[in-house]
Structure 1
Amino acid sequence: MTEVIYLKVSEKTEAAKKAGRRVSVSGMLKFLGVSRSGYHAWLHRVPSDTEKRRESVKEKIQDIYDDSRQNYGAPKITVELRKTGEVISERTVGTYMRQMGIRAQWSKPWTITTKDSDFSTELQNILDEQFNPDRPNTVWCSDITYIWTIDGFVYLTSIMNLFSRKIMPGHFQKHWKYPA
């Protein structure tokens, strides 16, 4: 928390210097409730080896993430880092990615639910868009749909008599297909 305060004080001081204004760093530090000695020690602190390694790994993570067009998550980035000889866990990579504000793109896989075939040679259009037949049971129309349930997909087929515009009783089936 104090590091954030020190960083803000440092930014404000630099901005004031650039604008040609004088600012009391001691006054700011006293107002914010942090010590002057702590601030000056922070200003002259040299990053530790751990901190240097952390920043180096974060740069590598960013490079791998950008090269993958922002698709790779922590597992794949960990594999890529290990290929370069880096010893790091997937959890650490995930933590660094969260700190950096990056995450993998996820898209739902697209599944083909129907199979289209070329019926042009097998079927002929004998109805010719005449949807008002003169007698019952001369023209039927059907449709099929699927409904997702807890047990799997339920395929529902209905057949309609175009003369009466009613669903034919007893001409329905349900087909169960359980998920794999």
Structure 2
Amino acid sequence: MEVSVSGFHGYLKRQERPDPDAAIRLEIRAIHRASRGTYGRPRMVQALHNRSYTIGHKRVARLMREEMLRGKIKARFKHSTDNRYIQPISDNVLKRRFSVTSPVAAWVGDITYISTRQGWLYLAVVLSVQTRQVLGYSLSDRMPEGLVQQAFMNAWTKTPVDHGVIFHSDRGRQYTGSGFRSMIAERGFVQSMSRKGNCWDNAVAESFFASLKKEEATGVYPSKAQAHASIASYIHGFYNATRLHSALGYRSPNDYAKHLKHSA
């Protein structure tokens, strides 16, 4: 096939033309690395806006596709707490009032399993519904009532709150036990529990665990020590500090907590 001289020179000029998206591609790759490969299009768009880039969802989707980048898909909820023991059950006082703008102040707690080659670990967390921060956690190779008590006290000592705050959990025996019930009652909390077999009543905690399993604890850790280090890094160094949360208007939990404090 014959090509004209002018056509050939035009082709060369097009090949030499700089990529207008080169700078933004670098930013997208940097954000993807900083997010531990977790951000999909919505968070990527917001992260770019936070860096003063004016860019739309379609363009970001195209560039991520061309760079072969994609966010991780959240796993479905897996209920993990043993509720076979007969204990007093509190009403569902929270009633899925999970909005960060809800006037009802609430903490939520839950337990999940972490797999290592040295055996299971059990992670108990306490989160704020209003800020989505992990306020406290406890990681142990056993799952006694003391596991959730330690997570609660880790949260309480750092973030004391007024009386009347709801503490919501499932019906696991760690939360229905007299020790935990007394601990939160003495500090003015109103206990709330999910309805039987309904994990969506504790969706804030379940959603955190789904993110953790998708973004950090994705497989079997070589050792318990590595699991401890990984979970601490994820909670303190990423999830609370920098991870953009859709429920918070794509702010990090720590940033949103500061915003609420300054707005009060």
- TM-score range normalised by the length of the shorter chain: 0.3 to 0.5
Answer 1 or 2: higher relative contact order, Cα 8 Å, separation at least 6.
Answer: 2
User: Greater Rg, structure 1 or structure 2?
Assistant: 1
